[in-house]
Structure 1
Amino acid sequence: MKKHAEQLYYRLGATLYMPAIRPDLAQRLTTTQAGSVVLCTEDAISESQIEDALKNINKLLMSFPQINTNVFIRARSPQVLANLLALDTIDHIKGFVIPKIDHSNVHEYKEAVEDSGKNTFYLMPTIETEIAFDNQELIRLRKFIDTFPVGIPCFRIGGNDLLSLLGIKRPDYVTIYETPVRIAIDNCITAFRPFGYQLSAPVFEYIDDKNLPLLKKELMLDRAYGFLNKTAIHPVQVDLIQEILSVKNEELDLAKKIILHQDKAVFKADGQMCEPSTHINWAKKMLAIDRR
């Protein structure tokens, strides 16, 4: 499972979140264009709705539709994860999103995974507590998650929760990279990506048409930061996310040239200097995406 996790990351596209309490989950799963969907039992619903949400998920799994998207469930707590793993039909989904992962709960989540005896699913832990602002604590968390017996397609970054910790609500005229959360994003990249883990870009919470130019600007910065997946909270965001975060033909062509000339110190292509010794990892990543 672990060796296939990165390939799954390349297929996630826009990850559309849906409250697990919705009565029309099956219909929405069959019509969505999102590369992946998360049925949320955490922030999207209230504490009093958890039992109904779990019943709704079980109903969906009992007559799971034929779909082309990867379905995950955001488990509200280790106990909710354990309850979901106990369902006979849980194999219909691809895996789980773990919210607010840090040292206060990571051991319980691992115990829930191990106690289930199941390891054919994937986990996407979400960094959205104060740990995001402490690089050394992120490294310590990464080393513990290394011991999990399941694949990790990516770590997700909870931008709004991190803004909340700082007492900030992002205004509708700046990208996430123009807020203090950029520091947390940098920390996550340096703590996880050099060690084989991918990351998902934070949500853009504005969904009106007038905000699409700003979403486009943020997506271009997401690409510059190496993200190929982003959380979506509304279907209107899906197409733009998947268009901008997809790998372009010119990128694939350049990657092939770098691989072809990897024995050279430096060469010119498409108006830029290419140095295989430093660009080879990027090139291999692009070609791996092309083969997904």
Structure 2
Amino acid sequence: MFTRYCRSVLCTPAIAPDRYASCHSSGADIRVVDLEDSVPAHRKEEARHTAARFFSTAPQDTTARCAIRVNAVTEPDGLADLLALRHYPVKPAIVQIPKVESARDVEIVEQVLGGDCPRLELFAVIETPRGVERLREIATASPRLRALIFGAADYAMELGVGLEWEPLAQVRSLVVNSARAAGLHAIDAPTFELTDLPLAHRESTLARRAGFSGKIALHPRQVPVLHEVFSPDAEQLALARRIVAAAETSGESVTTVAGTMVGRPFFTASRRLLDEFGPVPVLTSQEGDR
């Protein structure tokens, strides 16, 4: 399922405000300021106050959303993050909740922030075996929940396996299936090798084929690669136009296009694709590398 909503989710450390501008100008669909893994324990308080600037300096770009990743809400720092967010002059559009292991983790964020952030959306990061065991419960925890994110690094560490695709393929499928069953997006873990754009392309292609909507980016240079992979190409758009035309000609009955039988699911998917991507040219990886 191609969508502009979360093809790319670019993270930047809260304690590096000099990087805020490049994150905002990256073109990423979702731009995240991080209070968790990229912030050492002794700078958590500084980070949660500095992060308010990320939202007040964001450009008026209606195609992107600004988000914040808090600390685990079962820990004091996570609760302190939520309380601080209530006083931000400009609120985040999305809160990413790390290490989600039960519906209660999602409910805590909703209860603390819901009244102050009426349009708030939530992303749950699945990165522990316990979280995987409770995927169905987590995916249906709140109507504000819009996506599940797979956290490969923490999950692989707990299992004692590598970060290669094969050892984690099964759990990725579980995350995607649970997300789709609940009507949510699924977002894949990042490519950690920041300068290896061919690797980012390969991993993104595998993620798209597995059913993910998008992928985390750790550097602006990865964003165009993600947009290329998680957007339809000219051939796919042309086929979608042919399918929509065939649907109208056949009166929405089963028919054939390019030797393939197509019916209502194909018609619906093709119309959705053209509604979202038809008028806009697709960014290629060469157009935005930096």
Partner of 1:12: 6
Instruction: In structure 2, give the amino acid aligned to 1:142.
Output: A
Structure 1 residue 169 and structure 2 residue 199: aligned? no
SS at match of 2:32: strand
Distance in 1 (CA, whole Å) between partners of 2:272 and 2:156 is: 31
1:133–1:143 Cα change, 3 Å: closer
Partner of 2:136: 139
Partner of 1:265: 254
Deviation at 1:17, TM superposition (A): 0.9
- Counterpart pick for 1:290 among 270, 277, 280: 277
1:40–1:250 Cα change, 3 Å: same
Aligned length: 267
Partner of 1:160: 153
Q: TM-score, normalised by structure 2?
A: 0.80
1:125-179 deviations in Å (ceiling 9; x for gaps): 1111214543xx211222323xx4x3x3322111112111211232xxx4x2x22
Partner of 2:120: 121
Distance in 2 (CA, whole Å) between partners of 1:141 and 1:133 is: 9
Q: TM-score, normalised by structure 1?
A: 0.80
- Counterpart pick for 2:179 among 192, 203, 212: 192
Distance in 1 (CA, whole Å) between partners of 2:232 and 2:110 is: 34
CA contact under 8 A between 1:132 and 1:187: conserved in structure 2? no
Deviation at 1:19, TM superposition (A): 0.8
Distance in 1 (CA, whole Å) between partners of 2:275 and 2:70 is: 30
1:237–1:59 Cα change, 3 Å: closer
CA contact under 8 A between 2:12 and 2:20: conserved in structure 1? no
Partner of 1:110: 110
Q: Which structure has the higher relative contact order (CA within 8 Å, separation 6+)?
A: 1
- Counterpart pick for 2:67 among 34, 50, 72: 72
Deviation at 1:196, TM superposition (A): 1.4
Distance in 1 (CA, whole Å) between partners of 2:60 and 2:265 is: 40
Distance in 2 (CA, whole Å) between partners of 1:64 and 1:203 is: 25
1:237-277 deviations in Å (ceiling 9; x for gaps): 122111221222322232233334343324132xx514224
Deviation at 1:67, TM superposition (A): 5.1
1:206-242 deviations in Å (ceiling 9; x for gaps): 123xx33222222222222233321011222122111
Distance in 2 (CA, whole Å) between partners of 1:84 and 1:248 is: 43
CA contact under 8 A between 1:258 and 1:274: conserved in structure 2? no
1:99-144 deviations in Å (ceiling 9; x for gaps): 1112162332232234x3422122111111214543xx21122232
**1:44-63 equivalence runs, <5 A:** 44-61=38-55, 63=56
Deviation at 1:20, TM superposition (A): 0.6
SS at match of 1:125: strand
**1:178-189 equivalence runs, <5 A:** 178-179=166-167, 181-189=168-176
CA contact under 8 A between 1:228 and 1:246: conserved in structure 2? no
Q: Which runs of 5+ in 1 are unaligned?
A: 1-5
1:194-215 deviations in Å (ceiling 9; x for gaps): 331111122111123xx33222
Greater CA drift, 82-91 or 278-287? 278-287
Deviation at 1:81, TM superposition (A): 4.4
Deviation at 1:186, TM superposition (A): 0.8
CA contact under 8 A between 1:160 and 1:203: conserved in structure 2? no
Partner of 1:3: none
CA contact under 8 A between 1:201 and 1:230: conserved in structure 2? yes
Greater CA drift, 257-266 or 116-125? 257-266
How much is the aligned-residue C-alpha RMSD, in angstroms?
A: 2.7
SS at match of 1:24: helix
SS at match of 2:9: strand
